[in-house]
Amino acid sequence: MSGNADQALAGFRICDFTGQLAGAGATKWLAAFGAEVIRIEDPVRQGRWDILRGMEPFKPGQRGLDHGGGFNNHNTDKLGITLNLRTARGKEILAELVKISDAVTENFAAGVLEKWGFGYDALKAIKPDIVYVSNCGFGHTGPYHEYKTWGPIVQAVSGLTYTSGLPGQPPAGWGYSYMDHTGGYYMAMAIMLALLHRQRTGEGQWVDLACTEAAVTLNGPALLDWTVNDTPVRTDDGPNANRSQYVPMAPHGIYPCTGEDNWIAISCRDDRDWALLAAAIKADWCAEFTDQDARLAGQDALDEALGAWTRGFDKFALEAELRSLPIPAAAVQKPKERIERDASTAEFGLWPKVEQTAMGEVVVDGLPVHFSAADWKMERGAPCLSEHTEDVLTRLLGFSSGEVASLREEGVI
């Protein structure tokens, strides 16, 4: 249970308060590479501060705190314990756990851990070289530090929602929490950077991660266009996100195909790509668009004519034809299509099957990387509430089973 010695992060122990996706996604990576991630939950509220714990999707016929599909997906291979931090004994046990951990991680609203008596100064007093990474929407300083966020709010305030839309329409935004995923990536980066710093210097630190700042960096060239040229992204009509933002390319869009809600993405990077596409279309109107400047200037008309052509094709048949030319083209894949029809994902090993104590076998999101010497593994599903309390307390902290039973009766765990 203490991580696999051949794995890249074997030997690192994380005292983990993260939840949802923005936090749990970060420690999922660490656990997959063999770090021992110990998730701490509140027995009184039954771990419900992570709203995903008992939330759908559920496997058919299942329901309950130990059955949340998203929770399982984001917490693979972690240990789960409960600790009541309202009690003095609970706080003592947490301090003992911090003492043997390399990092403490959380994504509460700013100041929550401090209020419990485990701010950075307190953590450092317990373990001088501890790495502490907090991840909240606006960070722990600045005028908005008390403001609350979740993925869509981070995306809204940072500029990512505005830039994802079609002209003349409201912002479409991201139809999922791109910044919970990506905020989790930045949190994992921050944890590992701080662990590298500690590995090289022996020194710990507190990393204050503001998810919104990570998000603002993701529109860099547009920001320089603003600071250097005073060119704003905001226009009356709003951006067309399906067009090429920086690199001049046309056509460049998402076009309809046969059947219900079927679409294909096509990009022509240059005149050569266009010539190949025009030869496949074989229509007179193509002659108007022979050179790139004409295609860029006439993009509305070009998109309309191209859409009228693609509309007659099955998206996968057209994808195959355009790829044979070859020009950049890809069907807009639905979940079932990219998971089951597109062999590339399964061949990459992207959908591992884990065993979750209450749910049984479940297929989860794997990692999109492979290491030749020390690859990731996902074997165990998310912990049921308090599933590993006895294991952690006896194996790591030296309690006897009898003591664990008393702590349970006293409401400490």
Partner 1 sequence: MTALQGIRVVELANERISWAGKLLGDMGADVILVEPPGGDISRTYPPFADGDPNRSLYFRHYNTSKRGMVIDLDSAAGQTQFKRLAGSADVLLEAEPIERLSQLGLDYDTLCRANPALIHVAVTPYGRANPLSDLPATDLTLMAAGGPPWSCGYDDHTLPPVRGWGQQAYHTGSHYAYLSILTALLHRGNGGSGQFIDVSITAALNVTTEAASYAWLVAGAEVQRQTGRHAATQPTGETQMRCADGRYVNTGVPPRFPEEFGRLLSWLRELDLEAQLPEAVFLEMGANWEGPFDLSLIGSDDTITAIFSAGREALKLIAVSVPAYDFFIGCQNAGLAVGAINSPEEAFEDPHFKARGFQVTVAEDGQSVRYPGAPYQLPASPWQISRAAPALGEHTDQVLAELS
Give, as ranges, the residues between 5 and 24 that touch partner 1 (CB under 8 A): 8-12, 21
**Footprint on residues 341-370 left by partner 1 (CB under 8 A):** 342, 344-345, 347-348, 350-351, 362-370
Using CA atoms of 7, 13, 15, 16 in order, give the dihedral in degrees to the nearest 10: -10
Asked whether position 378 contacts partner 1 by CB under 8 A, the answer is no
In this structure, is the dihedral angle defined by the CA atoms of residues 316, 317, 319 and 324, taken in order, positive or negative?
positive
Asked whether position 233 contacts partner 1 by CB under 8 A, the answer is yes
95/374 with CB nearer partner 1 = 374
**Footprint on residues 276-305 left by partner 1 (CB under 8 A):** none
Based on the number of CB atoms within 10 Å of its own CB, is 399 exposed (0-12), middle (13-18) or buried (19 or more)?
A: buried
Min dist. Cβ of residue 303 to partner 1 (A): 10
Taking the C-alpha atoms of residue 285 and residue 292, their distance in angstroms, rounded to an integer, is 15
361/410 with CB nearer partner 1 = 361
Asked whether position 259 contacts partner 1 by CB under 8 A, the answer is no
DSSP 123: H
Asked whether position 174 contacts partner 1 by CB under 8 A, the answer is yes
Please report how many Cα atoms fall inside a 13 Å half-sphere around the Cα of residue 217, on the Cβ side: 8
Taking the C-alpha atoms of residue 257 and residue 349, their distance in angstroms, rounded to an integer, is 30
**Footprint on residues 121-150 left by partner 1 (CB under 8 A):** 138-139, 141-144, 146-150
Regarding beta strands 103-106 and 252-256, do their DSSP bridges make them parallel or antiparallel, or are they unpaired?
unpaired
Regarding beta strands 360-363 and 353-356, do their DSSP bridges make them parallel or antiparallel, or are they unpaired?
antiparallel
Min dist. Cβ of residue 330 to partner 1 (A): 4
Asked whether position 194 contacts partner 1 by CB under 8 A, the answer is yes
Among 87, 245, 292, 394, binds partner 1 (CB under 8 A): 245
- Distance between start and end Cα atoms, the chain: 20
DSSP 181: H
Asked whether position 200 contacts partner 1 by CB under 8 A, the answer is yes
Phi and psi torsions of 73, nearest 5°: -60, -35
In this structure, are residues 17 and 24 in contact, taking their beta carbons and an 8 Å threshold?
no
Please report where in the chains the tokens 């609970």 appear, as a residue.
Answer: 90
Asked whether position 208 contacts partner 1 by CB under 8 A, the answer is yes
Regarding beta strands 263-267 and 252-256, do their DSSP bridges make them parallel or antiparallel, or are they unpaired?
antiparallel
Asked whether position 178 contacts partner 1 by CB under 8 A, the answer is yes
Min dist. Cβ of residue 198 to partner 1 (A): 9
Asked whether position 99 contacts partner 1 by CB under 8 A, the answer is no
Query: Quick one: which segment of 161-169, 282-290, 382-390, 392-400 binds partner 1 (CB under 8 A)?
Result: 161-169
Query: Quick one: which segment of 36-44, 170-178, 277-285, 287-295 binds partner 1 (CB under 8 A)?
Result: 170-178
Among 23, 152, 389, 393, binds partner 1 (CB under 8 A): 152
**Footprint on residues 50-69 left by partner 1 (CB under 8 A):** 56-60, 69
Asked whether position 4 contacts partner 1 by CB under 8 A, the answer is no
Asked whether position 188 contacts partner 1 by CB under 8 A, the answer is yes
Instruction: Using alpha carbons, select from 134, 179, 170 the residue that is nearest to residue 152.
Output: 179
Asked whether position 228 contacts partner 1 by CB under 8 A, the answer is yes
103/392 with CB nearer partner 1 = 103
72/386 with CB nearer partner 1 = 72
Asked whether position 258 contacts partner 1 by CB under 8 A, the answer is no
Q: How many CB atoms lie within 10 A of CB 57?
A: 12
CA distances in angstroms from 241 to 161, 169, 289, 313, listed in the order given: 11, 11, 22, 24
Asked whether position 205 contacts partner 1 by CB under 8 A, the answer is yes
Taking the C-alpha atoms of residue 211 and residue 20, their distance in angstroms, rounded to an integer, is 14
**Footprint on residues 298-337 left by partner 1 (CB under 8 A):** 323, 326-336
Asked whether position 199 contacts partner 1 by CB under 8 A, the answer is yes
19/366 with CB nearer partner 1 = 366
Instruction: Using alpha carbons, select from 406, 349, 413, 363 the residue that is nearest to residue 387.
Output: 413
Min dist. Cβ of residue 291 to partner 1 (A): 17
Min dist. Cβ of residue 368 to partner 1 (A): 3
